[in-house]
């Protein structure tokens, strides 16, 4: 599914819609994330985190197939909504499953799991970019998610069935502390910046460097590639830094790299700086989510479910808002939304630290 965001300009061209209508597909993903967040605690209580992962994968693949075969925007938007519910269920429960399993090594486990995700995002971008330059529909590239789900089940799913006993007191509910909700805003800003870049950077490349849609979609591979490298190797760098300091550092890297990407009209400079934007974006989701789990540690399933509300608002509004701004001011000026989001995220992390110990100390 990772290739879907950069393919938004291709979808817009196929369907002959405005940027705002194309951005509604991002809005559908956002609404889906909110729905999945609402369902997370009850589903985790009823089925357990592991079975909820597989339920999410099933829902996702049904929605993805519908998106591939249905031609019009009024059909593809609900298809993406359905797929997005399954996607968010899978991500939320995978993160919680890893976090609880690896305990004090959770920051590395969650970040590197996201690194594996980014490798497949890279694959999705590559496949869609290649197909876009041929006579076949680029949507066929999304078919790759189905055989991978089958392989995953045959090699792991049918051999692993952890016991789950629902809590007699029912699923987690109630309130979360104010520090959680302020950090929740920080997560929303980081995801907003990530999805604005993921959905519209190909359009910016086409405008600034006069590239074809297929080449621009291929060049934005730099973004998920940077995210993959950062998520896998980032936990090994600066082990003396705690979660907050590490998050501030990568947000700053994202912001500086993005500004160079924004002003560049050279395709190779844009490609290189977009890689560094990906590096800066790489660990933001994992570290921001761990901050939320720190502040809501008494109710982890509820906390991770509420985090989906933040992700949903971000995914739903930022691509739509950027598409709307692009329709009015042009894609170049519209992209000034991104540094505003980055600054807001940096400020929240700075004023509300978790005081978690550095990774190096936790190993000891």
Q: What are the tens digits of pLDDT across the range 252-281?
A: 999 999 999 999 888 889 999 999 999 999
- b/e map 268-278, b = 16+ CB within 10 Å: eebbbbbbbbb
pLDDT in tens, 241-257: 788 998 999 999 999 99
Could you say which architecture CATH assigns to the domain 8-162+170-363?
Answer: Up-down Bundle (1.20)
- Other Cβ atoms within 10 Å of 300 Cβ, number: 17
| Three-state helix/strand/coil letters over 75-136 | HHHHHHHHHHHHHHHHHHHHHHHHHHHHHHHHHHHHHHHHHHHHHHHHHHHHHHHHHHCCCC
Q: How far apart are CA 29 and CA 314, in angstroms?
A: 10
pLDDT average, residue stretch 333-346: 94
- Exposure of 212 by Cβ count < 10 A (0-12 exposed, 13-18 middle, 19+ buried)? exposed
pLDDT in tens, 195-245: 889 878 888 888 888 777 778 877 888 888 898 888 888 777 777 778 899
Q: Which backbone phi and psi does 30 adopt, to 5 degrees?
A: -65, -45
Q: Which backbone phi and psi does 56 adopt, to 5 degrees?
A: -65, -40
Q: How many helices (H) and strands (E) does the chain have?
A: 16, 0
DSSP 3-state of 157: helix
Handedness of CA 80, 57, 302, 98 (dihedral sign): negative
Task: For tokens 């985190």, name the residue.
Answer: 49
- Other Cβ atoms within 10 Å of 101 Cβ, number: 12
Q: How far apart are CA 249 and CA 316, in angstroms?
A: 27
Q: What DSSP string runs through 276-322? A: HHHHHHHTHHHHHHHHHHHHTTTSHHHHHHHHHHHHHHHHHHHHHHH
- For 187, the token pair is 């997560």
Q: How far apart are CA 229 and CA 282, in angstroms?
A: 8
- pLDDT at position 281: 93
pTM: predicted TM-score of the whole model, two decimal places? 0.76
Q: How far apart are CA 364 and CA 355, in angstroms?
A: 17
Quick one: pLDDT band at residue 190, thresholds 50, 70, 90? Answer: very high
**pLDDT above 90 as % of the chain:** 26
Most confident range (mean pLDDT) of 61-65, 172-176, 293-297 is 61-65
- pLDDT at position 3: 61
């Amino acid at each position: 599914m990772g290739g879907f965001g950069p393919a938004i300009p291709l979808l817009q061209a196929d369907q002959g819609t405005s940027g705002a209508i194309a951005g509604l597909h991002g809005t559908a993903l956002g609404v889906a994330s909110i729905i999945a967040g609402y369902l997370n605690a009850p589903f985790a209580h009823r089925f357990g985190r592991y079975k909820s992962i597989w339920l999410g994968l099933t829902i996702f693949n049904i929605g993805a197939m519908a998106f591939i075969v249905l031609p019009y925007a009024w059909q593809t938007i609900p298809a993406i909504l359905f797929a997005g519910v399954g996607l968010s269920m899978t991500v939320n429960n995978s993160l919680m499953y890893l976090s609880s399993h690896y305990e004090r090594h959770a920051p590395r486990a969650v970040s590197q799991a996201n690194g594996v995700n980014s490798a497949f995002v890279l694959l999705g971008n590559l496949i869609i970019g290649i197909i876009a330059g041929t006579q076949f529909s680029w949507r066929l590239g999304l078919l790759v998610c189905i055989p991978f789900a089958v392989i995953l089940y045959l090699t792991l799913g049918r051999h692993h069935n952890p016991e789950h006993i629902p809590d007699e007191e029912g699923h987690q509910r109630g309130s979360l502390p104010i520090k959680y909700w302020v950090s929740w805003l920080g997560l929303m800003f980081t995801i907003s910046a990530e999805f604005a870049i993921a959905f519209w950077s190909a359009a910016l490349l086409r405008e600034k460097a006069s590239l074809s849609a297929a080449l621009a979609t291929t060049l934005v591979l730099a973004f998920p590639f940077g995210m993959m490298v950062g998520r896998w190797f980032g936990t090994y760098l600066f082990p003396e830094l705690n979660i907050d300091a590490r998050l501030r550092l990568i947000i700053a890297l994202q912001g500086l790299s993005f500004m160079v990407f924004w002003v560049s009209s050279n395709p190779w400079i844009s490609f290189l700086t977009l890689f560094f934007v990906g590096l800066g974006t790489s660990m933001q989701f994992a570290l921001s989510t761990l901050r939320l789990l720190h502040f809501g540690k008494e109710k982890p399933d509820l906390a991770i479910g509420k985090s989906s509300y933040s992700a949903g608002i971000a995914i739903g509004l930022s691509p739509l808002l950027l598409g709307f701004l692009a329709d009015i001011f042009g894609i170049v000026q519209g992209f000034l939304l991104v540094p505003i989001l980055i600054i807001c995220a940096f400020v929240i992390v700075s004023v509300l630290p978790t005081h978690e110990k550095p990774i190096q100390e936790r190993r000891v």
